[in-house]
Structures are given as C-alpha cells and as structure tokens.
Amino acid sequence: MKKQLGNILKFIISLGIGIGLVFWSLNGISAEQKQMIVDSFKRANYSWLFLLMMFGLASNFFRAQRWRLLLQPLGYTPGYWNTFHAVMSMFFFNLFFPRLGEVMRCTILYKYEKIPVEKSIGTMVLERVIDLFCILILGGLILLSEYQRYYIFFKDLFVGDKAKDIAVETNYNKYLIMIGIALVLITAVIFLIRKHGFEKITSFLKNKFLGLWQGIISIKDLEKKWEFVFHTFGIWICYILMPYFGFKCLEETAGLGFTAAMAAVFFGGFAMVATQGGIGVFQIVIQKILTTYGVASIIGLSYGWISWSVQNLSVVVAGIFSLVCLAVFNKDSKQTQADEQ
C-alpha cells in the first residue's frame, strides 16, 4: 500500500513539475511570441513530421525483434506481432503512469503467449543496460565532436552570461558549482544512512549492481548475438533520423544536420523521463539545444512543442491500435484453435 501511494505521489509530483514548467516557459514570452508558436504549427510541413513518426514506428519493429531474441535463451519464442503490439502498448501506458508500460507489456505477453511475467521482466534489465550504454556513447560522441559548443553552452547555463565579460577567466565559479554539488550529494547520503541504515543501503546497492552485472553477462546466452547488435543499431539510427527529418518541417530548422539530431536524441531522451511524458522539460531542453545551433529561441521552443505533440499523438494512436489488434487477432486465433479441436 505504501509503495502504491509512493508511486502515485511520484506521478503527481512529476506531472505537476511538468505542467508548472509549461506555464513558466509560456509565461516568460510575449503574446506575439505565443502567436509565433501557433503559427509554427500552422506552417509546419507535416510531410516531414510524418517521416518522424514513421521512423519512431520503425524503431519499435527493431525493438520487438530484439526482445524476442532475449526471450529465446529462456525457452520462449513469442509471435512477432504479439511482441510488437506489446512494445507499442508499453509506450502508450507509460504516458499515463511511470513504468506502467513495462509491467503491461510483460503482462500482455503472458496473456497471449503464456510467458511468465517474472521471466520477461528479467529480460528488460539487459535492454535498459544496452540502451543506457548506447545513449552514453551517443552523448560522448556529441561532446567530443562539439566540445567547444557545449562547453560554452554549459558555462553560460551554470555560470551566466557575465562570464563572457571577464577578460581573464578564473576557476572561482567552477569551484563554487563543484562544492555546491558535493554538498548536496553528501547531505543526501547522510539523510539516507540515518533513515535506512548503512548496512541496508550497501545491501541494496550490492543487489542492484549484481542484477546489473547479471543482466550484462546474460547476453552470452544469446544464439544470435550479431542480429541483436543489428537491431540495437536499428533502434538508435531510427531515433536519430526522427529529429533529422523532423527539423525539416520548419524553414528555420531545416538546415540542421545529424549532429544536431544526435544532440536532440541525447538531451531530449533524458528530458522525456524527467517528467511524465516529458511534458514541460522536453520543450525547454530542445529549445536550449537548438539555440546552440543558431536557431532563434522562440523557434526552438516552437519546434520542441511540435515534436513533442507529434510524438505523443503517434504513441496514443499506435498504442490504441495495438491494443485493438491484440484483442481482435488473438480472439480469431483462439476461435480457429477451438474449431480445429
């Protein structure tokens, strides 16, 4: 009961922060700029946004097959379309409650393919590890190739524009930021130790790292490792192509290339999990990132809203469609089996 209340509280806080950020971002702009956002929706080329949605859909074709590969060492080979629709349903349910989608996709696979939930949930450990590894590689490539751009970006973000006027830059502000972060972390650690006890926390961390390690080494049991790698690459290439083609919907962002698209995926990916459905945070993060590539701030915010709206609309439509397909096609399958008997 306490866990359920805690999850509900997290959901309310996450959604509240997101909605608060929406009002904050829109409150800080003029009526004319708000109209510019509306006009951006009107003049956007939705042919390119259709491609954005198609590559988002394509990524889930790869994700579904990758999940099937992970289930094979456990002795299960679920039907492709049931697996695909379960994955699509996951993103749909995640819009409404954190991590609900992960539970529902495993429940759906149990209902239609009779795969025990605890076993299919176990395969998600490796999925999360691989995806985290991929997004960190993506971030590393961005920071290495665009070091100067993002050094200035983060300096301005955390230190402020005044630093530009200083002839001889000192490390004073950097030290203050590092000390501040260290104090926050130390305070958090002390609080957790006093609340739960040192042994309980170390045991918890040990179990988490052990589970993480087991998830990583479980890839050795895969029979088709290179196919797994292929589908993983397919997922992330589709993710990068989504904003790459999405940028082309507006004249002001049409010239942005793959580096900007990679940055949108990396920073936007973290923004999407920061609040429920990424509301509020995603739009602001995309705005900030696009300004580093010379896009006007209000246009960056406009594109953030367009991209977020199109992605969430496609998730809702595809999720409902998948739930209908699961019910209809599996009903027909059961009826066929009954007739044969």
Intra-chain end-to-end CA distance of the chain, in Å: 45
pLDDT at 22: 72
Q: Are 215 and 221 in contact (CB under 8 A)?
A: no
Instruction: Provide the 3-class DSSP secondary structure of residue 251.
Output: coil
Question: What angle in degrees, to the nearest 10, is found between the helix axes of 297-340 and 31-43?
Answer: 40
Domain that holds residue 255: 33-152+231-340
| 164 within a domain of the structure (yes/no) | no
Within-domain flag for 194: no
For the chain, how many structural domains are there in total? 1
Question: Domain for residue 161, yes or no?
Answer: no
Question: Do the domain assignments include residue 83?
Answer: yes
Q: Helix H segments across the chain?
A: 2-27, 31-43, 46-71, 80-94, 100-113, 117-145, 147-158, 172-196, 198-217, 225-246, 258-274, 281-291, 297-340
Predicted pLDDT at 168:
42
| pTM, two decimal places | 0.77
Residue 169, domain member (yes or no): no
Helical residues (DSSP H) of 72-116, grouped into ranges: 80-94, 100-113
| 305 in a structural domain | yes
pLDDT for position 95: 84
**Residue 323 maps to a domain:** yes
- Is 319 part of any domain? yes
CB 268 within 8 A of CB 135: no
DSSP state of 45: -
Q: Please list the rounded mean pLDDT of every run of 10 residues in the chain (341 residues).
A: 58 67 72 88 94 95 93 87 94 83 89 84 80 88 82 66 46 60 70 67 65 56 85 96 96 93 91 80 90 91 93 93 91 53 44
